[in-house]
Amino acid sequence: MPSRILYISTFLSAGSNRSYCEDLADHLEAAGARVTRTSRRTGRIARLVDILTTIWRARALYDVAIVDVFSGPAFVWAEAACVVLRRLDRPYVLVLHGGNLPVFAEKWPRRVSALLRSATVVTAPSRFMRERMRVYRSDIVVIPNAVDTAAHPFTRRSLPQPHLVWLRAFHSIYNPILAIDVLASLVGRFADASLTMVGPDKGDGTWTASVSRAEASGLSERVRFVGGVARKEVGAYLANADVFINTTNVDNTPLSILEAASSGLCIVSTAVGGIPYLLEHERNALLVPARDPAAMSAAVTRVLEEPGLADRLSLGARELASTHDWTDVLKRWEHTLSEVSRG
């Protein structure tokens, strides 16, 4: 593995709501690499300027670069960064992120194709992303998202209680209101049903709408809105629940599902984007259509009442998480970066 790496992504957590790039950068450093990170700036223009100036000013400090690629306006950051990296004759690996990237690529096929062809290696965290993006480059390498299974110890959910947990950012694409509607469908059957919602407010009005829906449904005493928390605190919230519900409308390979799987929670998720490539229905999760509270509440009811189902899902989830542990995933990154540095 190269000893000097430049990582171009979004490094904003300062300890809470950590993004995957921050975990990967830390693990690469622990493996012996020197990692230069950019950017920690919050504004779009300020971040772009910081990315470009860091690439140039730190050019003596790295031999290979990792560039995260997102859809929307953030795609410009990757495009501009790669132009400068090519001018400096530095090899780089692109990492494709976000369930919306394939949709963005259909709108801007020439831009996406040009960017992907320019890289030494292109990686994706899921077979879903590789299959959807292979029209723009055929040799995309899958390196899955990783979870620290030691930080999320397994508890077998053989006799689950109706305690639900939701872990995501409050944004419309993650549809947190669906979680509240599911709880509303369950309270008549399960008197002690509750829901804990963990995640930051992304500022599009979804947080306010979710609180209003809980109040209007008479669920204020049953729904706990935690907000964003540090990564080290996530495990405690997962440990206090038995059923994990993922309500998103768009997705790829969310770390939150891997964390829930490592903890042994019974997972009920919408079958969107890369989720069916990650989870297997009836083996390690129950999958339901998006935007369907009746289907999701019925699946949760099955978990709570169907003999043997919760136990099977809990064990299957932990088995899934073990295949995404950092021990194995980091080896894949080390091998890929070594190949990139050799051109």
What ranges do the domains of the chain cover? 4-146+325-341, 149-322
266-270, strands of its sheet edge to edge: 223-227, 194-198, 163-167, 243-246, 266-270, 286-288
The answer to whether the 4-146+325-341 and 149-322 domains have the same CATH topology is: yes
Q: Does CATH place domain 4-146+325-341 in 3.40.50.2000? A: yes
Residue 264 zone, left/alpha/beta (φ > 0; ψ -120 to 50; rest): left
Q: Which helix (H) or strand (E) holds 246?
A: strand 243-246
* Residue 284, helix vs strand vs coil: coil
Return the pLDDT at 18.
72
CB atoms within 10 A of CB 193: 22
Return the pLDDT at 17.
60
CB distance 241 to 196 below 8 Å: yes
Distance CA 225, CA 340 (A): 44
4-8, strands of its sheet edge to edge: 34-38, 4-8, 64-69, 92-96, 121-124, 141-142
The set of long-range contacts for 21-30, using a CB threshold of 8 Å and a minimum separation of 24, is 21/68, 23/146, 23/148, 23/231, 23/326, 24/66, 24/146, 24/333, 27/146, 27/326, 27/330, 27/333, 28/1, 28/330, 28/333, 28/337
Nearest to 79 by CA among 106, 116, 36, 107: 116
pTM (2 d.p.):
0.90
Distance CA 150, CA 282 (A): 25
Return the pLDDT at 14.
53
Contacts of 72 (CB under 8 A, 6+ apart): 100, 104
Positions of the chain with pLDDT lower than 50, given as ranges: 15
Distance CA 198, CA 202 (A): 13
Assigned architecture for domain 149-322? 3-Layer(aba) Sandwich (3.40)
Percent of the chain with pLDDT over 70: 98
Nearest to 123 by CA among 333, 263, 341: 333
For 195, the token pair is 């829901």
Nearest to 279 by CA among 144, 160, 112: 144
Distance CA 283, CA 218 (A): 34
Q: Return the biggest CA–CA distance within the chain.
A: 64
DSSP letter for each residue of 144-205:
---B-GGGS-----SS--SEEEEES-BSGGG-HHHHHHHHHHHTTT-TT-EEEEE--B-SSS
CB distance 321 to 152 below 8 Å: yes
For 9, the token pair is 């992504």
Distance CA 80, CA 85 (A): 9
Nearest to 37 by CA among 58, 18, 16, 17: 58
Contacts of 176 (CB under 8 A, 6+ apart): 166, 168, 170, 197, 199, 206, 210, 247
How many residues in the chain? 343
For 200, the token pair is 């930051």
